[in-house]
Homo-oligomer: A and B are copies of this chain.
């Protein structure tokens, strides 16, 4: 007879790079997303919820010469027809598919928002997860930069709606076309033949994208001959002359005290370039539209030093930064930094239909924004645990259930202890771990006298920390009240917290 091998027990583990969210982690994020959705809704954006799964073909990650899709996505093959499916890696690719698939059914310009998890098949690391939330709003089919201005205004409203006060954030706007104009002036873009200097422009784009990390001198080196890093490795430069490089550097440094002055400076820089001039016009229009709606320089500014995403987007680029300081991991004070970014991209559905459809949108870094709210104490302080009704006499469960019933009917979060009631200490320990604000106690004596005991666990914890004997006596953390007053007394105690 074959030997029956005993199966080992499975490991109870979250897969590598994934995590579980408990209690307040879930509700705080949800509250933030709800507040954001409300703003999106008010702006006329409609929700779209696509499924987590797309065909790899639609995601555009399929490499024709390997039998497995590109790394970076979680993919698998259908058993019947061998088609490859994958989890979405962002919310833009599904939007592109939807805009193409329903192009005859949707009302364009199509304003849509989407919120939900996305998946990346990457090596997990500290703080790097393989599933995380995105929260996007995009307008598809609106060529006018009024759509971009609208997204910027909405972004400002979103930040205030979730609790970032005016003055603690700024929306910065730049434009890829202005950079193209600068490159034209610098001699690395030929409007009549875009294939010339393509390699150089690639190096320029990558160089300015590294401004934060390398500083102006590092970028200048990459624009010129090249740069040797600390390890001795040499990165080839774009080969620009010092004068050409200064033109490009001047772009990133063009911000002036007022929007008008910045626009004037940019006009100088792109003088002679049609695309550069178009880009400056767009920035001016966006600035005017924002001003007209009351989004002044305290909320949104033209800032050519915004370089992130310039390589990806085709027109306006925007970024929302939180300007207040927090203490970094190295103990130094530093600005919180970017929490959202976006811009205009005009090739959204072209892959599917061949038609160019203009689109602009923004993606909010859900985890970063939530971290900012937590860092400044704007979420997470309230103990949301339930009132715990303890069980002194297991035969009177109906009495205790009636109590929680009354409390819940009054809108108060409450629960009866459902574990083994034998050890009363365990019940109080449980209430503690549940962050219960109050424990309700009704033993035989109390029952007989028509009263219950209310233990104020919040006050108790405070007293235990630093109270004198007098304070202990003057502020009783446990009171006796008439059974009929249970709801009123609990509410009073909760209001004191």
Q: Return the contact of A58 from the options B13, B42, B119, B402 (Cβ within 8 A).
A: B13
Residues of B with C-beta under 8 A to A7: 64
- How many whole Å from A43's CB to the nearest CB in chain B? 6
Residues of B with C-beta under 8 A to A474: none
Which 4 pairs between the two chains have the least Cβ-Cβ distance? Answer: A44-B415, A12-B100, A292-B398, A142-B418
Is the CB of A468 closer than 8 A to any CB of chain B? no
Proximity bits, A147-168, B CB within 8 Å = 1, else 0: 1011001000100000000000
Is the CB of A216 closer than 8 A to any CB of chain B? no
Residues of B with C-beta under 8 A to A150: 401, 416, 418
Inter-subunit contact A47/B27 (CB<8 Å)? yes
- How many whole Å from A496's CB to the nearest CB in chain B? 21
Q: How far is the CA of A217 from the CA of B391 in the complex (A)?
A: 48
Proximity bits, A75-108, B CB within 8 Å = 1, else 0: 1101100010101000000000110111000011
Give the interface centre of A14, A354, A414, A433 by most chain B CB atoms within 10 Å: A14
Instruction: Given the known inter-chain contacts A85-B74, A352-B12, please indicate yes or no for A52 contacting B119, CB distance below 8 A.
Output: yes
- How many whole Å from A358's CB to the nearest CB in chain B? 10
Copies in the complex: 2
Q: How far is the CA of A394 from the CA of B102 in the complex (A)?
A: 28
Inter-subunit contact B397/A44 (CB<8 Å)? no
Residues of B with C-beta under 8 A to A100: 12
Determine the residue in chain B with the shortest Cβ distance to A23.
B46
For window 50-70 of A, CB contacts with B under 8 Å fall at: 50-55, 57-58, 60, 64
Chain A residues with CB under 8 Å of chain B are: 7, 9-16, 18-23, 25-27, 30, 41-44, 46-55, 57-58, 60, 64, 71, 74-76, 78-79, 83, 85, 87, 97-98, 100-102, 107-109, 111, 117, 119, 121, 130-131, 139, 141-144, 146-147, 149-150, 153, 157, 285, 288-289, 292-294, 349, 351-354, 386, 388, 394, 397-399, 401-402, 405, 408, 411-420, 430, 433-434
Q: How far is the CA of A433 from the CA of B107 in the complex (A)?
A: 6
- How many whole Å from A362's CB to the nearest CB in chain B? 15
Instruction: Given the known inter-chain contacts A26-B48, A289-B401, A351-B10, please indicate yes or no for A53 contacting B418, CB distance below 8 A.
Output: no
Q: Return the contact of A42 from the options B292, B354, B408, B433 (Cβ within 8 A).
A: B408
Residues of B with C-beta under 8 A to A293: 398, 401-402, 405
Inter-subunit contact B18/A51 (CB<8 Å)? yes
Instruction: Given the known inter-chain contacts A418-B139, A434-B107, please indicate yes or no for A57 contacting B146, CB distance below 8 A.
Output: no
Inter-subunit contact A55/B15 (CB<8 Å)? yes
A sample of 23 inter-chain contacts (CB < 8 A) reads A9-B353, A11-B55, A11-B352, A12-B101, A13-B55, A14-B50, A21-B48, A21-B49, A26-B47, A42-B408, A42-B414, A44-B388, A44-B414, A44-B434, A51-B117, A52-B87, A75-B76, A76-B76, A142-B418, A146-B416, A292-B398, A292-B401, A293-B401
